[in-house]
Amino acid sequence: MVQFSVEQLPELLAVYYKRLFPYELYHRWLSYGQVNPNSFCNREMSFTLAGEVYIRYQSFDKIEDFEKELIKKIPEKIDIGAIYNVKPRQKRMASTFEVEEKELVFDIDMTDYDSVRTCCSDANVCSKCWKFMAIATRILDAALREDFGFNHILWVFSGRRGIHCWVCDEVARKLDSKVRSDVAEYLQLLTREDHTGKIAHLNSEKIHPSIRRALDIIEKDFESACVECQDILGTPSRMNSVLAMMEDGLRQEVETAWETTNTSLERWTVFKKIFNAQQASNKLKKRNKNLIDELMLHFSYPRLDINVTKGSNHLLKSPFCIHPKTGKVCIPFNPSAVSSFDPNAVPTISDLVEEIQQFDAKQGEAIKKGMKNYRKTSMYKSIQVFEEFLRKLEESWKSKYGGSVESMDF
């Protein structure tokens, strides 16, 4: 691996935009089979140039124009906005400027887990805290597919400490802002801290099937990912914060029993035993009836930034752009293999540039021709994830709109 340094970013980006950015695939995605001929050209693109200069409401008629602009401006960051009724760059000339379509998007940021993760803080992410992201991905992916029936979901690592989810089904793209907000609230289970510091509240006896499914997903990993890896009961202060969530009767018994324990896992097991015994003998106060479930949700239910989901004109960082601080590529990943995804193994722009140079040096000019440059790099695996996503997406309108759609082969 080559060390990435921020100073080299402009130079590296110039190579990246010229040789590596997957323009064709990108265009295939954002034109959505030309079912709506304006899908690509009425899309807002926004750039962040060096020195934090933002340019909003860019739009491009052809992918070639987009490519030229990237090579010319070398933006540090690219954001994708909504599809409007007119070309965003001409919005001043239009009498109305309204959002027509936008993917349903979700943003999960590791820093929102700072109150429960003990391995890192702020912008850092390690394989331990990635487990939170893995659980979040599984829960959200299941809800979107099973509850809402969405099929075309693109999961993207944001390049530093978060993940983005793009739901690209036609129904999802056409949701109005009211329904968007309702879907977001349905999925946003966590609330503001109560006086005990707990953010998950299951007040009723009957738990909604969607939450039950989330709990089943969490349960499989909770003891290893949270109790052990995060060592959530490992220090007196961590123990106290969990004890604070218990009513007196439960707390006293648990506190006493914990005196003879040494590890988080032991404490968790002891707590569960006491909890179940008290529940069986009907001793639990109403507020604690669902405490085990609530704690699992408190620690590991997805912490969504739902304002990103609610606003249909909200910008979200584009897949395949480079995170300007880490140099890592914002790459798609397969949600069913999320556990084995390692954020620290994601290639940086320096790696990629080095890789194509090495490849070029080894191979002759002849082979190089006609071969996509990204195939020569460690980015290729995530390109395949993206291609697979596109293949299924294209099937959906081929079956729906038949042959009337322009051929997507390039």
Partner 1 sequence: MDFKRTIRRSVIQPLYGDLEDLYPHNLQLYTTPPNFEISLRELEECTSQRLAILQTMEEVLNRGLKGDDWRQTVFSELRKQDLRNFRKLITSTSFSNDEELYAARKQDHISHFMLRLAYCDSEDKRRWFIARELELFKFKWHYLNQSERQQFLKINNFNYDVVQETEKLELSRNSLGMVQTSTEYYKVPFVTVSDLVRARKVYLSKGMAFIVSEDMSSVIASVYRSSLSKSLAFAARRIDDIAEDTRIFSLVKGAAKRERDVDYTPANNGKVDINNLDTLAKISFPLCMQQLHQRLRKEHHLKHFARLQYILFIKGIGVTLEDALRFWKSEFTKKMDPEKFDKSHAYNVRHSYGKVGKMANYSPQSCLKIINSNVGPSEAHGCPFKHQDQSTLKKNLLQNGLSSIDSQEVLDFVRRGHYQIACGIYFQKMHGVDKVIINHPNHYFDESQMVLNNKTIKSEIKEENATHPKKSAVKNDEQDVWGNDSGFDFNSFTEIN
| Residues carrying an active site annotation | 44, 107, 109
Choose among 97, 56, 50, 110: nearest CA to 303. Answer: 110
**Is 2 a residue that touches partner 1 (CB under 8 A)?**
no
Cβ(121)–Cβ(230) under 8 Å?
no
Give me the DSSP letters along 81-119.
EEEESS-GGGGGG-S---EEE--EEEEEEGGGGTTT--S
Is 179 an interacting residue with respect to partner 1 (CB under 8 A)?
yes
Least gap, CB of 142 to partner 1 (angstroms) = 12
Question: 298 or 323, CB closer to partner 1?
Answer: 298
Does position 399 interact with partner 1 (CB under 8 A)? The reply is no
Window of 73-81, 128-136, 160-168, 175-183 that interacts with partner 1 by CB under 8 A:
175-183
Main-chain dihedrals φ then ψ at residue 401, nearest 5 degrees: -105, 5
Window 205 to 224, contacts with partner 1 (CB under 8 A): 206, 208-212
Q: Which helix (H) or strand (E) holds 374?
A: none
Tell me: does residue 83 bind partner 1 (CB under 8 A): no
Q: Which of 297, 231, 295, 241 is nearest to 264 (CA)?
A: 231
Of 2-10, 193-201, 313-321, 349-357, the window that binds partner 1 (rule: CB under 8 A) is 193-201
Smallest distance from partner 1 to CB 242, Å:
17
Output the smallest distance, CB 194 to partner 1, in A.
4
Burial of 262 (0-12, 13-18, 19+ CB in 10 A): exposed
Q: What residue spans of 264-379 are helical by DSSP H?
A: 264-280, 291-300, 306-310, 349-362, 365-368
Q: Decide: is 98 part of the binding site for partner 1 (CB under 8 A).
A: yes
- Residue closest to 133 by CA, chosen among 154, 117, 153: 117
Candidate residues 96, 237, 262, 399; the one interacting with partner 1 per rule CB under 8 A: 96
Is residue 183 within the footprint of partner 1 (CB under 8 A)? Answer: yes
Contact status: 307 vs partner 1 (CB under 8 A): yes
Of the candidate residues 119, 126, 190, 265, the single one contacting partner 1 (CB under 8 A) = 190
* Cα–Cα dist 39/88, whole Å: 12
Residue 122 makes contact with partner 1 by CB under 8 A: no
Please give the size of the binding site for partner 1, defined by CB under 8 A: 38
Q: Is residue 286 part of the contact set for partner 1 (CB under 8 A)? A: no
**How far is residue 200's CA from residue 202's CA, in Å, rounded to a whole number?**
7
Binding footprint of partner 1 on the chain (CB under 8 A): 52, 95-96, 98, 112, 115, 146-150, 171, 175-176, 178-179, 181-183, 185-186, 188, 190-195, 199, 206, 208-212, 303, 306-307
